[in-house]
Amino acid sequence: MLTLLSRGQVETECGGTLEVAFSAVGQRVRMMILQGDLTNAGAILDSFQSAVEEQRVMQLLPNIRAVRCRIALYRGDMDAVREWLEQAPDEDKEFITMERYRYLTKVRCYLALGENLKALALLEKLGEYAERCYRTYIRMEAGVLGAIVRQRLGTEWEPMLTAALDEAGSYRFVRFISELGPAVLPLLKAQSRDGPWFRQVLDETRQMARRYPRYLLPGVAREDFSSTALEILRLQSEGFTATQIAGRLGMKPDTVRYHIKENYRKLEVGGRAEAIAAARGLGLI
State the pLDDT at residue 260. Answer: 95
CATH class (in words) of the domain with range 88-219: mainly alpha
Domain boundaries, the chain: 1-86, 88-219, 222-281
DSSP 247-277: HHHT--HHHHHHHHHHHHHHHT-SSHHHHHH
Mean pLDDT by 10-residue block, N- to C-terminus, for the chain (285 residues)?
43 56 89 93 93 90 96 91 95 94 97 92 96 95 97 94 97 97 95 94 95 82 83 94 95 94 85 83 72
State the pLDDT at residue 84. Answer: 97
- Hey, do 88-219 and 222-281 end up sharing a CATH topology, with the first three levels equal? no
C-beta of residue 112 within 8 angstroms of C-beta of residue 73: yes
Does the reported pTM lie above 0.85?
no
State the pLDDT at residue 143. Answer: 98
How many Cβ atoms are within 10 Å of 192's Cβ, its own excluded? 5
Burial of 259 from C-beta contacts in 10 A (0-12 / 13-18 / 19+): buried
State the pLDDT at residue 19. Answer: 77
Fold entry, domain 222-281:
Arc Repressor Mutant, subunit A (1.10.10)
